[in-house]
Amino acid sequence: MARGRKALIAGNWKMNGLLDDGVDRARGLLALVAAADRLSADIVLCPPATLLAILARELRGSPVALGGQDCHADDRGAHTGDVAAPMLADCGCRFVIVGHSERRADHGEKNALVRRKAEAAHRAGLVAIVCLGENQAERAKGRALAVVEKQLKGSLPKSADAANTVIAYEPVWAIGSGETATGEDIAAVHGHLRGLLDKRLGAAGAKVRILYGGSVKPANVAEILAIDNVNGALVGGASLDVDDFWAICRAAP
């Protein structure tokens, strides 16, 4: 665990959720949060952009934070269909995911663009959740550590610190597959990332939260969170089920 920091559990709804079921899902989670005796983790919901404004009203005043799934590298401009980081902050977001593997794969996003998006997030006062991860072919060739090292160095802006940046390691081959990296694999990558953060940020590197993402579910989350340098989880499919997501949140030490 990052010293002095709670675990962070972030739910990425991806391209799922219409108005009614999105509100119902958020209200269901808030009811469970309100009934809890304590929260051992910080919780973030990252719904589709169409739901951000309405969920901001639902989450206002609660311990559950709101996050975007992506942002543009520019603060404004002629970018049809994109959402700027200041817009996310304006509608109530505190976090934004950048560099998710699906953005890197489906939209061809490279490290330099991810870095610019993280910079934009920081300018807007948002916490950037910077995603990294190797694909199956890269892991098979024994290049997992080299890949995430290159991504971290290329994607992390000079403005990054423990207060405005979270790292999310998501082995691409595990996302949505039902497969999860072994404990040894996760420990190796997270330990390597921690060492890189220590070199980059000095003492502050120990306080940066490093999340694991990739088929996290109630059945495996406790084991994952017990691994050294795992400071939370980036949850995809399981975040769409209120009970499953709450079970994951409650598993944090």
pLDDT tens digits, 81-111: 999 999 999 999 999 999 999 999 999 999 9
Residue 126 domain-assigned?
A: yes
Catalytic residue among 109, 134, 170, 190: 170
**Average of per-residue pLDDT across 25-46:** 97
> 3-state DSSP call for residue 245?
helix
Catalytic residue list contains 107 = no
Residue 11 resides in a domain: yes
Q: Does the pLDDT of residue 123 top 90, yes or no?
A: yes
**pLDDT above 70 coverage of the chain, percent:** 97
Residue 112 lies in a domain: yes
Q: What is the pLDDT of residues 159-206, one digit of tens each?
A: 999 999 999 999 988 776 677 789 999 999 999 999 999 999 999 999
| Residue range(s) defining the domain that contains residue 179 | 7-250
Within-domain flag for 1: no
Helical packing angle, 183-201 and 144-155, nearest 10°: 30
Active site residue 170: yes
Q: What is the CATH number of the domain that holds 232?
A: 3.20.20.70
What average pLDDT does the segment 66-94 reach? 98
Q: Which of 100, 122, 190, 192 is catalytic?
A: 100
Whether the CB-CB separation of 57 and 28 falls below 8 Å is answered with no
| In the chain, beta strands by DSSP E | 7-12, 41-46, 64-68, 95-98, 127-132, 165-169, 210-213, 232-235
In three-state form (DSSP H/G/I as H, E/B as E, the rest C), the secondary structure along 59-122 is HCCCCEEEEECCCECCCCCCCCCCCEHHHHHHCCCCEEEECCHHHHHHCCCCHHHHHHHHHHHH
Domain count, the chain: 1
Cβ–Cβ < 8 Å for 159, 119: yes
> 64 forms bridges with which residues in the sheet?
43
Query: Is residue 78 in a domain?
Result: yes
The answer to whether residue 2 is domain-embedded is no
pTM for the structure as a whole: 0.96
Residues 6+ apart with CB under 8 A from 70: 83, 96, 97, 98, 100, 103, 117
Give a yes or no: residue 186 inside a domain: yes
